[in-house]
Amino acid sequence: MIKDRDLLPVQGQMAFAASSSQAIAASLKPFRRPDSVVLKAMAQRQKRIKGAVCGDPDLQGEAIGTVPGRIFGCGIKSAVRVKSIAGIDLSQKAVMDCTTAQAFKSWIRNGLKPAIGDAGGGVAEIQIAAHYACRTRNNQRGAKISEHGKGRAIDITGVRLHDGRNISVLEGWRRKGTAAILKRIHRSACGIFGTVLGPDANRFHRDHFHFDTARYRSGSYCR
């Protein structure tokens, strides 16, 4: 049903809106953003695009190409050195391949962030213990080449929250208040990564999580 006020010219409608207790103040045109805000947003966008690796602005770092290995079986064909993923800084730049970088991003978004939630203002930094290293598994003589030696693995000792607190794998795995969070973080990586190891796996992993993108016919190995 068309009401009388709907037939008023524009100026009349604005006057009605100003005088009516049932009307909501409105503007015919949205407020224009200041040029400085637009330019700043464009500059940030360009910076993200420029720093993107693996064709993904959420992966910030630099492409470093082929990384040769000193041991047969080591090395990365198309390596990247990553400094932040999905807006979260890494405590040190980590060398890996793009498949592992993308898996890392998926885990951060779908596992780490939901596990931490709003605690401490959320995750500010992921603490990296190890990334690419041409070595055998657990540095044991005669063992197979580690996934670290192929650029497919990352070791994480904990996370730093925005309020400055640290959640450490070594100190928090069995501590009330952090144990449940760390176990959710560990569990959420299973399936995203091919191998997920934590403090209960063996003595070599009591102070960190090991994630890698090796694939097995039987599915992910998580312990």
Given this model, what pLDDT does residue 49 score? 80
Contact indicator for 101, 82 with CB cutoff of 8 Å: yes
User: Residue 98 pLDDT more than 50?
Assistant: yes
* Per-residue pLDDT, 15: 52
Using the structure block, give the residue that is written with the tokens 């064909």: 77
Mean pLDDT of 16-44: 59
pLDDT of residue 7: 40
Is residue 127 a contact partner of residue 88, using CB atoms and an 8 Å limit? no
Q: Is the pLDDT of residue 23 over 60?
A: no
Residues 10 and 28: beta-carbon distance below 8 Å = yes
- % of the chain residues with pLDDT over 70: 79
- Give the total residue count for the chain: 223
Token pair of 212, please?
């890698």
| Residue pair 53/80 in contact by the 8 Å Cβ criterion | yes
Sign of CA dihedral 16, 17, 19, 23: positive
Residue 145 phi, psi (nearest 5): -65, 130
Strands (E), 23-140: 52-53, 56-68, 75-85, 88-97, 123-130
Parallel, antiparallel, or unpaired for β 75-85 and 56-68? antiparallel
Least confident of 24-33, 92-101, 152-161: 24-33
Provide the whole-model pTM: 0.78
Q: What is the mean pLDDT of residues 190-218?
A: 95
Highest-scoring range by mean pLDDT, 42-46, 47-51, 162-166: 162-166
Q: Please give the structure tokens belonging to residue 186.
A: 């560990």
State the Cα–Cα distance between residues 23 and 19, nearest whole angstrom. Answer: 8
